[in-house]
Structure 1
Amino acid sequence: MIRGFRGATTVTENEEKQIIEATAAMLDEMVSKNAIVPEDVVQVLISATPDLTKTFPAKALRVFREDWTYVPVMCMQELSIEGGLPKCIRVMLTARTDLAQQDIHHVYHEEAIKLRPDLKEEHQ
């Protein structure tokens, strides 16, 4: 079965190092909590809010995960919505898995926890 795995995080500054490290931490947790291996990944879509311009968040996969060389990754700009969460990076990773939908661990770090308060217990 192919399922979607969601994640989001925020940074405090529009700095390359912060963007890459925050994205890597979120992706690492998504991968470890859901036992995802590169061969099972269909694609990784990463969006960033318009206020993040110093680097591509997808660079985190290429810098910290050499075994993900052949995984298709795409970055895009998140919609600019009034009142939206600033300096936010979001991920939609699709992969083959045996996990039931309710057993998937979606990962929200920093201020992005506000995006899914219904998953609060998963963040503790």
Structure 2
Amino acid sequence: MLIRITRNLQIDERDLEEFFVHASGPGGQNVNKVATAVELRFNLGANATLPEPVKARLARLAGKRLSGAGILIITAEEQRLQSANREAAREKLFALIREAAVVPKVRRATKPTKGSQTRRLDSKSKHSALKRGRSTKDF
């Protein structure tokens, strides 16, 4: 089954692996008995539905969450319910993919206009004159 991320992007649910582990933090006795934290694994290298440029941007955005084998690992343990953590982990992954889907604007270097250069130099000379006027020494 395909999961729709954006209008043009979707991933196969079989590419997602979920592991449930014990969460740290509050929860009382329940924290030691129930595995509520979710570790969501997305095999980025083996994925066939995402375009290569999106994969490259996703790998860059993932940072240290991407393993050497090309597996993106997302963890969620904020909630006390396993189902809520599962949804939170999926939403974190989908948000990361949506962010990677945005093509960055190409920056084109431009020269400062003649007017902006003149204004900058005028401002500098006015500021210099102001500071010179504060001086107590006579030259």
Higher helix share: 2
Tell me which interval the TM-score lies in, with the shorter structure as reference length: under 0.3
Higher strand share: 1
Q: TM-score, normalised by structure 2?
A: 0.24
Larger radius of gyration: 2
